[in-house]
Amino acid sequence: MRVYEDNAPVIERLRARLARRVAAYPPSLRGLAAGFLERAGAGYFSLPDAAPLLHLPIWMGRSLAPDTLDDILEATALAYAYVRIQDNVLDEPESRGHPPLLLAANAFLWDALDLYRAHGDARFWALSRLAWLTFSEETENERRQLASDAEYAHAAFVAHARKCALAEVPLYAVMSASGDWRGAPHVGTLVHALSRSYGCFNDVMGFERDLAAGGRTWLLSQARSLACARTGVSAPDVGTIRTTLVASELMEALVQEAIATMDAARPAALALGMLPFEDFATARTARLAEVAAKVTVMRLMSALADGGLIPKQVGADPPG
């Protein structure tokens, strides 16, 4: 994505700073931290489908001194690493979760807070604490929902998107460093809209993996309910749920929700002075439209396969 590529020099400075920081850790922590960052990859934050966690403060903080912006970006990357490690341990203990990494996460979080401390005023800490509590609360609410058989209401799905409230913190840091808090009311709106858009997208793109893992995402919960209604079976198997999902318009509707919430983010980004955001949102909407078209083709091919007009495997490929 071109708007990400434009930020490559800033991201490269961040990569170098992270490498220097980790190299200075004690030996055991250094091994854990370096291994985690290596697995994430140097281009993690700028992959085409990556959320703009670091790009938002870059777009908003172009008037800051480079060292100040770099401090904020490094703090954000370290805090995100802490959250990612914690999430992996909680959500995927048998695969990506690796409890010893929590010790590296301790170092990441301490250093993140130290970097923010240099640029945060009292309002920064108050709003950031609220964002941190919101992220923690909605992460736990989502975890409980996904672990239960309870109905997954759409209102809860929308609320759970606030688990990405960490992304508010670097924007408050930019405001604190610049002394300009006029855009503060728009930060939560922007981050929540983006989180909803990416959450919808991720549910669609990851539906095969989630099905195989027995996941209970909002999308799969809707497909499961639909399968129950159509078959009369109270506990349909994975194959039935998949067939029902692919034959329905559930994924198309969710991609349209992703497009709508991306559009809803535009006014907030404009109010925050993020001029490149418009190009980002346009490119992102085009990507979502591409996925929507592939999902529609998959549904139609599945219908043809079910009618015996084409081999079943032809209609089986997920969107990509």
Domain residue limits, the chain: 2-287
255, 292 Cβ separation under 8 angstroms:
yes
254, 203 Cβ separation under 8 angstroms:
yes
Which CATH number does the domain 2-287 belong to among 3.30.470.10, 3.40.50.150, 1.10.600.10, 3.40.50.10190? 1.10.600.10
Q: What angle do CA 115, 135, 51 make, to 5 degrees?
A: 75
- At residue 289, does pLDDT exceed 70? yes
pLDDT, residue 245, reads 96
pLDDT, residue 41, reads 86
Tally Cβ neighbours within 10 Å of residue 159.
17
What is the average pLDDT score of the chain? 93
Q: What angle do CA 256, 261, 266 make, to 5 degrees?
A: 130
Q: Band of the pLDDT at 312, cuts 50, 70, 90?
A: low
Q: Band of the pLDDT at 263, cuts 50, 70, 90?
A: very high
pLDDT, residue 48, reads 93
pLDDT, residue 95, reads 74
Instruction: Give the pLDDT mean for 235-247.
Output: 93
Contacts of 40 (CB under 8 A, 6+ apart): 81, 84
- At residue 94, does pLDDT exceed 50? yes
Distance in angstroms (rounded) separating the CA atoms of residues 166 and 151: 27
- At residue 93, does pLDDT exceed 80? no
Q: Band of the pLDDT at 315, cuts 50, 70, 90?
A: very low
